[in-house]
Amino acid sequence: MRITVLSGGVGGARFTRGLLALLRERLPDGAGGTTAQVTVVANTGDDLWLHGVRVCPDLDTLMYTLGGAVHEQQGWGRRDESRRVSDDLAAYGLGWEWFTLGDLDLATHLARTELLLSGVPLSAVTARLAERWQPGVTLLPMSDDEVETHVETVDGRMMHFEEWWVLHRAGVPARRFVQVGLDGSTAGPGVLDALAGADVVVVPPSNPVVSVGTILAVPGVRDALRATAAPVVGVSPVIGGAPVRGMADACLAAIDVATAAHAVARHYGRRADGGVLDAWLVDDADADAVAPLRAEGWTVEAAPTLMTDVPATAAIAARALALVDRLP
């Protein structure tokens, strides 16, 4: 069983952790793992060069979460993190003090930067770093090319996505996202094959605009998703009209999509109608979206989708995979 997941950071990482727990139970390999092969295609559109090092927020969140090193409450970054470096760095007054650069996280950035500067592509760097963390999945950046997301706010300012997201907490309404390098990027090694060769593709409850939307905009990815023989199942990142975490509502607003489970489904679209999904799992709180979506031809179910812990998340993954059997 080959499962491919298109993931952003925290939401996608937690979902994938639950999925792995489910697969270890259902398809155990006898050594504590699973015989299923899970490939995670990660968004790299939030990546940035900061103080000379390459920061890849979503890749790191996936690596730490699946490798058992994540700061659980925070959802990203390392457990037992400290800020010796960044506290001292602030004294130089170079800016970006609001961007957390933990000491342990910085070790990852330094290792990545050293490898990148020596000419190793990001995909191979990621594989090298993952050797330490053993995430139990094949972790693929969506592209080896650098993509940088900027935000144009309604008051006409341009800023790096991280500045808008972290410093301004997405509080300044965005007019649009400008993703430098995205149109000219190439899908990373293995990405298109992971879609073509999958038995199931899952779109976890990641940000549909700046995480999954960015992956889908890498030339070739949307076509590969539409062409794959595998069913494509999505889990709504919106519960009861609000993003579960993060500020996906601010991103959805910028592209004129309502923060509602049915609206996100329609934004992705059914493959039968030219979209990218075959099925959609919504939260029980959004059960009223089921009937209208079904009327439009969707395979859709409602279930508890709050990823409160790993067992609960495994159950969500089970409900998502079960949708495959209900496809027409």
Binding site residues, a copy of itself, CB under 8 A: 49-54, 82, 84-86, 88-89, 91-94, 103-104, 106-108, 110-111, 113-117, 128-129, 132
Q: Which is nearer to a copy of itself, 79 or 326 (CB)?
A: 79
Q: Which is nearer to a copy of itself, 101 or 314 (CB)?
A: 101
Quote the least distance from Cβ 210 to a copy of itself, whole Å: 25
Distance CA 280, CA 234 (A): 5
Quote the least distance from Cβ 86 to a copy of itself, whole Å: 8
Distance CA 139, CA 108 (A): 15
> What stretch of H or E contains 309?
none
Q: Which is nearer to a copy of itself, 180 or 227 (CB)?
A: 180
Q: Are 297 and 271 in contact (CB under 8 A)?
A: no
Phi, psi torsion values for 172, nearest 5 degrees: -95, 120
Quote the least distance from Cβ 87 to a copy of itself, whole Å: 8
Q: Which is nearer to a copy of itself, 132 or 326 (CB)?
A: 132
Q: Which is nearer to a copy of itself, 94 or 242 (CB)?
A: 94
Q: Which is nearer to a copy of itself, 131 or 155 (CB)?
A: 131
Quote the least distance from Cβ 314 to a copy of itself, whole Å: 29
Region at 285 (left for phi over 0; alpha for psi -120 to 50; beta for the rest): alpha
Distances (CA, A) of 263 to 9, 178, 183, 211: 22, 23, 25, 17
Quote the least distance from Cβ 153 to a copy of itself, whole Å: 24
Residue among 265, 279, 277, 270 at smallest CA distance from 322 = 279
Q: Are 65 and 115 in contact (CB under 8 A)?
A: no
Quote the least distance from Cβ 146 to a copy of itself, whole Å: 14
